[in-house]
C-alpha cells in the first residue's frame, strides 16, 4: 500500500466532488496534494512506516487572498473525514507533520522560509537541503490557479550553480580527507572508534556528492541511500560501492584492503564525472585537486572567498 496513491484516490473520489460542491466560488483558486514530511511523500513507505503518522491525508492550499476561508475549509475537511472515514486514516502523533489547510505561501515558508521560493544565494542557504526535498516531493493532485505549482517548479530548478560548485568543492575535500587519507592512517593506528567515524563521514559525503552531480535535493538521512540508487548519474554505482564498503566492515587486513579499493574506485568515478560536467580538468586521483578547480569556477565573491573545505 502506497500512502501517496491512496491519498490521491481518496481526494479524487471523495474529497474533490465535495470540495467543488461546498466551495464553488473559491474551488478554482485552490490547490490540493500531498508533500512534505513523511515517508509516503517520497513514496518510500512500507509496512514498517504504518506504526505512526501514516495513512490517507492531503493538503488544501489557498491563495493569500482567500486566507480568511481557511477556517471554513478546515471545518469542511474535518467533517469530510468524519462522514467518509478513509480506509487507512492517518493518525497524527505528537511529533508528526501537520497536514492541514494553509496558504501556498505558508507551506513554502514553513519549509524553506520563502513564500514564493528563494531569489538570492542567502535565501537558498537559510534552510537545510532536506527541506527543499520535502518542498518538492509528493504530488499535486489539483492546482486551479497554478500558484502552488509555480513555486514548486522554481524550486525544482535546483540550487544556484555557485552553491552547487561550493558544495561540490567541500565534498571533494571531505572525501579526500576521510577516505583517501585518513582511512588508512586511522586503521594503522587501530583506532576503531575513529575508523567508524571516518567511514560514516565518507559515506555521507559520497551520497551528498552523488546528489550534487545529479542536481537533485538530498532527502533526510534516513532516506538518502534509498533515493541515491535511483539517481541517473552514478546513483547505482555509488550505492553499490557504499554497500560493499559497509559490508567490509571488519578490522582485519583483508577488509581494510577491500575498503581501500572500493574507496579509490568511487573517488575515481566522481573525478571522471566532475571532468565530464566541466567542473574540473585535473587528472589527479586525489579529490582535493578537483575541489580546488570547482572553487575556481565560483563567481559569487563571498562563496569564492571561503575555504574549499567549508560546508555551506
Q: How many CB atoms are located within 10 Å of the residue 135 CB?
A: 23
70, 102 contact by CB (below 8 A): yes
pLDDT at 232 (0 to 100): 98
Alpha helices in 55-127 (DSSP H): 70-83, 104-112, 121-124
**pLDDT tens digits for 190-213?**
999 999 999 999 999 999 999 999
- Residues facing residue 34 across a β-bridge: 139
DSSP H or E run through 3: helix 3-10
Q: What is the pLDDT along the chain (312 residues), one digit of tens a residue?
A: 799 999 999 999 999 999 999 999 999 999 999 999 989 999 998 888 876 778 899 999 999 999 999 999 999 999 999 999 998 877 777 676 788 999 999 999 999 999 999 999 999 999 999 999 999 999 999 999 999 999 999 999 999 999 999 999 999 999 999 999 999 999 999 999 999 999 999 999 999 999 999 999 999 999 999 999 999 999 999 999 999 999 999 999 999 999 999 999 999 999 999 999 999 999 999 999 999 999 999 999 999 999 999 999
Q: Which residue has the cell 473559491?
A: 26
User: Which pLDDT score, from 0 to 100, does residue 48 have?
Assistant: 83
Q: How far apart are CA 279 and CA 290, in angstroms?
A: 8
The pLDDT score that the predictor gives to residue 196 is 96
pLDDT value of residue 294:
98
What is the CB neighbour count within 10 angstroms for residue 304?
A: 16
pLDDT at site 171: 98
The pLDDT value given to residue 90: 78
Judge contact between 64 and 105, C-beta under 8 A. yes
Q: Find the length of the chain.
A: 312
C-alpha cell at 109: 515558508
**C-alpha distances out from residue 28 to 14, 63, 69, 121, 210, Å:** 17, 11, 14, 34, 40
DSSP class of residue 79 equals H
CB 31 within 8 A of CB 208: no
Amino acid at each position: 500500500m502506497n500512502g501517496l496513491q491512496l491519498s490521491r484516490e481518496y481526494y479524487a473520489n471523495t474529497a474533490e466532488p465535495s470540495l467543488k460542491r461546498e466551495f464553488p466560488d473559491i474551488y478554482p483558486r485552490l490547490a490540493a496534494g500531498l508533500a512534505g514530511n513523511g515517508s509516503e511523500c517520497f513514496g518510500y513507505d512500507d509496512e514498517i512506516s504504518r506504526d505512526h503518522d501514516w495513512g490517507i491525508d492531503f493538503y488544501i492550499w489557498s491563495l493569500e487572498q482567500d486566507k480568511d476561508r481557511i477556517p471554513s475549509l478546515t471545518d469542511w475537511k474535518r467533517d469530510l473525514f468524519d462522514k467518509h472515514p478513509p480506509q487507512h486514516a492517518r493518525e497524527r502523533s505528537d511529533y508528526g507533520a501537520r497536514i492541514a489547510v494553509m496558504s501556498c505561501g505558508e507551506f513554502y515558508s514553513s519549509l524553506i522560509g520563502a513564500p514564493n521560493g528563494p531569489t538570492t544565494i542567502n535565501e537558498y542557504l537559510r534552510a537545510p537541503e532536506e527541506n527543499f526535498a520535502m518542498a518538492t516531493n509528493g504530488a499535486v493532485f489539483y492546482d486551479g490557479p497554478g500558484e502552488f505549482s509555480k513555486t514548486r517548479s522554481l524550486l525544482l530548478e535546483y540550487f544556484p550553480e555557485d552553491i552547487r560548485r561550493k558544495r561540490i568543492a567541500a565534498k571533494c575535500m571531505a572525501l579526500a580527507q576521510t577516505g583517501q587519507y585518513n582511512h588508512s592512517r586511522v586503521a594503522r593506528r587501530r583506532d576503531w572508534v575513529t575508523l567508524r567515524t571516518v567511514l560514516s563521514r565518507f559515506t555521507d559525503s559520497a551520497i551528498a556528492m552523488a546528489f550534487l552531480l545529479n542536481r537533485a535535493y538530498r532527502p533526510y538521512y534516513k532516506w538518502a541511500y534509498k533515493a541515491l540508487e535511483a539517481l541517473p548519474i552514478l546513483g547505482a554505482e555509488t550505492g553499490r560501492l557504499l554497500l560493499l564498503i559497509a559490508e567490509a566492515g571488519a578490522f582485519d587486513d583483508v577488509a581494510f584492503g577491500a575498503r581501500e579499493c572500493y574507496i579509490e574506485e568511487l573517488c575515481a568515478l566522481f573525478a571522471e564525472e566532475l571532468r565530464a560536467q566541466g567542473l574540473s580538468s585535473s587528472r589527479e586521483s586525489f579529490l582535493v585537486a578537483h575541489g580546488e578547480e570547482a572553487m575556481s569556477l565560483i563567481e559569487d565573491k563571498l562563496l569564492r572567498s571561503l575555504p574549499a573545505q567549508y560546508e555551506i
